[in-house]
Amino acid sequence: MSSGTDFSRRNRRTATTAFVVVAGMVGLTFAFVPLYTLICQVTGLGGTPQVAERNETDVSTQEITVRFDANVDRSLPWDFAPNEASVTINLGAEYLTSYRSTNLSDEAVTGISTFNVTPLKAAQYFTKIECFCFTEQTLEPGQSVDMPVTFYIDPAILEDELANEVQTITLSYTFYRTLDDIPDEEPEIISEADQVITTAQVGSF
């Protein structure tokens, strides 16, 4: 009989190990959420630009064009656009541009933005110094603000055989209404979309 209990003890140990593995995998899945963000930031996956404290690169004579792109989600009653469509700068040179947001509604609204740069392979050379990335912005009714972005393009891009042909980089932002700020009423049904919804919704807020 002792071999029988031995058997069940061994079985229990194997099963416990299996359940620990399962728990570990669930844990890893949740750990992957911040890790994914980190991977994007470090490697430029999905076109995530780099962030630096200051610009330590040398200015090159080589020029590059940066285009500025802006999108607003329908739920956000804002006007949001770059103050200049594009700029041509030297590699390594720091540049300050800005986007303008205007709250078109009659109540305070909080927005949050996502952003990326394309071509995706240029992301690891696109470095932002000061930005409104992911910081929430609350605008009072009718308020307009300029949102500054300081950035430079790392001249190391010239040494990247896969990316050195890139002559134009697009920096794109999308503004959303923050999740906490979504009004209580039923969410707008997306299928009833209307291109000029930012203005059409003005009265309802």
Partner 1 sequence: MTRISAFFTGWVLTLVSASSAWAQEMPTPSFPVPWQLNLQTPASPVAERLVEFHNFLLVICTVISVIVLALLIWCAIRYNAKANPVPSKNTHNTLLEIVWTAIPVIVLVIIAVPSYRLLYYMDRVEDPGLTIKVIGNQWYWTYEFPDDDISFDSLPLPDDEIDIAAGQHRLLEVDTPLILPTDTDIRILFTATDVLHAWTIPAFGVKLDNVPGRTNETWTRITIPGKYYGQCSELCGIDHSYMPIVVHAVSPEEFEAWRADQLAANDNTPDDANRLAALIQE
Partner 2 sequence: MSTTATHAHDDDHNHAPKGISRWLNSTNHKDIGTMYLVFSVVAALVGGGLSLLIRIELGEPGIQVFDVIGEMMGSEAKQFYNVTVTAHALLMVFFVVMPALIGGFGNWFVPMMIGAPDMAFPRMNNISFWLMPPALILLILSGVMGQGAGTGWTLYPPLSGLAGQPDMSVDFAILSLHLAGASSILGATNFITTILNMRAPGMTMHKAPLFVWATLITAVLLLLAMPVLAGALTMLLTDRNFGTAFFDPRGGGDPLLWQHLFWFFGHPEVYIMILPAFGIVSHIVSTFSRKPVFGYLGMAYAMASIGIVGFVVWAHHMYTVGMGVNYRAYFVAVTMAIAVPTGIKIFSWIATMWGGSISFKTPMMWAIGFIFLFTVGGVTGVVLANAGMDIAMHDTYYVVAHFHYVLSLGAIFAIFAGFYYWFDKMTGKVYPEWAGQLHFWTTFIGVNVLFFPQHFLGLAGMPRRYIDYPDIFAEWNMVSTWGAYLTMTSTVFFLIVTLIVMIAGRKSVANPWGDGATTLEWTVASPAPFHTFEDTPDFTGGNPAAHPAE
Residues that bind partner 2 (CB under 8 A): 7, 10-11, 14-15, 18-19, 21-26, 28-30, 32-33, 36-37, 40, 43-47, 73, 75, 112, 114, 120-121, 123, 134, 162, 174, 176-179, 182, 187, 189-190
Show the DSSP H helices in the chain as ranges. Answer: 2-43, 197-200
Unique residue bearing structure tokens 């949050």: 112
* Interaction partner, residue 36 (partner 1, partner 2, none; CB < 5-8 Å by kind): partner 2
Cα separation, 56 vs 48, whole angstroms: 20
- Strand, helix or coil at 161? coil
Nearer to partner 1, 2 or 191 (CB): 191
Cα separation, 76 vs 27, whole angstroms: 35
Cα separation, 155 vs 170, whole angstroms: 17
Closest separation in Å from C-beta 123 to partner 2: 8
DSSP per residue, 11-55: HHHHHHHHHHHHHHHHHHHHHHHHHHHHHHHHH-GGGPPEE-SS-
Contact residues: partner 1, CB under 8 A = 46-47, 67, 69, 71, 73-74, 79, 85, 102, 104, 114, 116, 118-121, 142, 162, 165-168, 170, 172, 174, 176, 190-191, 193, 195, 199, 202
* Interaction partner, residue 67 (partner 2, partner 1, none; CB < 5-8 Å by kind): partner 1
Closest separation in Å from C-beta 150 to partner 2: 22
